Amino acid sequence: MTPDEAKARLATTWVASRAFVSRHRIAVGVSAGVLAVLVLLFVWLADRLPISQALEPLPNRAIILLDNQGKPFARRGAYKEA
């Protein structure tokens, strides 16, 4: 392969890749944005959720009686706030 053929081949590849990027710029941008939001969500969840406390079993089962509005009026046993 001569240097001129290599240059021509490289130029064709470069033009094709630039055309792909320009055609799919919106899709690439949206995909990058969605990925960034998902990463931020996982980082936030890892920071905010107390996984060590969630995996601990309760000492005994809890029974919570609720009224018509959904407010608790009687509790028995261990209760873990959400």
Looking at residue 24, its amino acid is H
Report the distance separating Cα 73 and Cα 65, nearest Å.
6
Assign 61 a pLDDT band (cuts: 50, 70, 90). Answer: confident
Rounded to the nearest angstrom, the gap between the alpha carbon of residue 59 and the centroid of all alpha carbons in its chain is 33
Encoded tokens for 15: 């033009």
pLDDT at residue 32, as a whole number: 93
Looking at residue 27, its amino acid is A
pTM over 0.75: no
Assign 58 a pLDDT band (cuts: 50, 70, 90). Answer: low
Encoded tokens for 14: 């470069």
* More confident call, 11 vs 45: 45
* More confident call, 63 vs 44: 44
State whether residue 79 is helix, strand or coil.
coil
